[in-house]
Amino acid sequence: MGNTPKIEMRGICKAFGKKVVLSGVDLDVGVGESVVIIGGSGTGKSVTLKSILGLLTPDSGTVKVDGENVIGMGAADRERINHQFGMLFQGGALFDSLPVWENVTFGLLAEKRCTREDAPEISIEKLAMVGLNADVAYLMPSELSGGMQKRVGLARAIASDPEIIFFDEPTTGLDPIMADVINDLIVKVSREVGATALSITHDMASARKIADRIAMLYEGKIIWQGPVADIDHSGNEYVDQFINGRAEGPIQMAVRA
């Protein structure tokens, strides 16, 4: 049992109507490992994460968490599994009717791991980790800039010290310096706290920094995966084109001049 992966995906397929998004995704994430999924816009990276979280049900395939198949499991079991998850949504998905402090401590309050009296104090600590100062805690999400919302979402995702964290484009919309602060934070959470992390990013600098392993999603499948050190000599022309950001290559974007 020693090397059961934390997350094991096999043959995940998902189509929306006629549009096939995933057609057999196989991916493992080891305990304490940090894996980054790269891939073009609209290739189904977010859909992959949501399939693991149970927010979308794949048409076929299995997802195992700690060796236990989570697809089609009952609501109570699903809740138990989801306890160990934290998720940063691509769009932030902050609760716009609640102040920032309550957003950040929402999971802790739901699990009764802190009281409402202590919550603002705790949220200020968590906000400091993502480079936001204390007065932000009492604002509403609509009063924040896009990048600040992203960071509050990040603070919320890591607030309850989850064992498995999903980051959907953690550095998109941040300035380069703040992006690096966030990269450091993700590295800290996964290396020091020992959390398992599965992230999505378009930002290759960020991917190189936070990943132990990189996987590339293309046309519904993982077409390449390997240690981050191998990314520059993957021998895969799709990967080469993607990481170098060239318009010319095997990946054809659906644009006409």
Ligand X SMILES: Nc1ncnc2c1ncn2[C@@H]1O[C@H](COP(=O)(O)OP(=O)(O)OP(=O)(O)O)[C@@H](O)[C@H]1O
**167 counts as binding another protein under rule CB under 8 A:** no
Specify the 3-state DSSP secondary structure of 57.
Answer: coil
Cβ-based burial of 39 (10 A; exposed 0-12, middle 13-18, buried ≥19): buried
Residue 91 near which of Mg ion, another protein, ligand X, none (CB within 5-8 Å, type-dependent):
another protein
In 105-198, which residue ranges form alpha helices assigned H by DSSP?
106-110, 119-129, 146-159, 176-187
**143 counts as binding another protein under rule CB under 8 A:** no
User: Residue 64 and residue 1: Cα distance in Å, rounded?
Assistant: 14
Residue 44 near which of ligand X, another protein, Mg ion, none (CB within 5-8 Å, type-dependent):
ligand X
Other Cβ atoms closer than 10 A to 158: 24
Closest distance to another protein from the beta carbon of 179 (Å): 22
**21 counts as binding ligand X under rule CB under 6 A:** yes
Among 1, 2, 41, 247, binds ligand X (CB under 6 A): 41
Nearer to Mg ion, 166 or 238 (CB): 166
List Cβ neighbours of 156 (8 Å cut-off, separation of 6 or more): 88, 94, 103, 104, 106, 107, 126
Among 42, 68, 72, 110, binds another protein (CB under 8 A): 110
- Write the single-letter amino acid at 164: I
User: Residue 125 and residue 130: Cα distance in Å, rounded?
Assistant: 9
Q: Which residue has the tokens 């989801």?
A: 82
Cα Rg of the chain, angstroms: 18
Among 27, 29, 36, 45, binds ligand X (CB under 6 A): 45
**46 counts as binding Mg ion under rule CB under 5 A:** yes
Nearer to Mg ion, 132 or 215 (CB): 215
User: Residue 110 and residue 114: Cα distance in Å, rounded?
Assistant: 9
User: Residue 207 and residue 210: Cα distance in Å, rounded?
Assistant: 5
Closest distance to Mg ion from the beta carbon of 35 (Å): 16
Query: By CB under 6 A, which span of 24-32, 35-43, 95-103, 187-195 interacts with ligand X?
Result: 35-43
| Chain residues that interact with Mg ion, rule: CB under 5 A | 46, 90
| Chain residues that interact with ligand X, rule: CB under 6 A | 16, 21, 39, 41-47, 90
| Chain residues that interact with another protein, rule: CB under 8 A | 50, 53-55, 75, 79, 82-83, 85-87, 89, 91, 93-97, 106-107, 110-111, 156, 160
